[in-house]
Amino acid sequence: MASSHWLQIDRTVRFGDTDAAGVMHFHQLLRWCHEAYEESLARYGISAEEIFPRPGQPLAVALPIVHCSADYRHPLVCGDQLRVWLQPERLDPGSFEVRYSLRCDGHDVATGLTRHVAITVETRRRCPLPLAIQRWLEASNLSAAG
């Protein structure tokens, strides 16, 4: 499976993503990053049920975001076509981060970062990453190296 299939997500800036000045509202960037992360997992073959809780279907391990950041380099407006590149990296056996690079018309327009830690839902203590996430990280790392 080509890594670009799950590490490169395209999206369009919509009117509802903009503020009264007609440019992307600042909070949209982290939402787009998380949506790209979710889409990347799905394209890789990891179902939402394996990672995200659902009513009546508790998970053994949660992956809360413990740090996030965003940098804006160029205004985005309704209709802009974006490409979001994901760069996942394991930090240790129980945590990882994803760096996001957003490009529009060949220009870097924004970057984002989310850092996730695995915890057991029952004890709220750190634990190893779920196997599905480990595989996604390993495959992403191999793709970046190759």
State the catalytic residues.
Answer: 19
Q: Which residues contact 20 (CB under 8 A, 6 or more apart)?
A: none
Beta pairing, strands 61-62 & 65-72 = unpaired
φ, ψ dihedrals at 20, nearest 5° = -65, -20
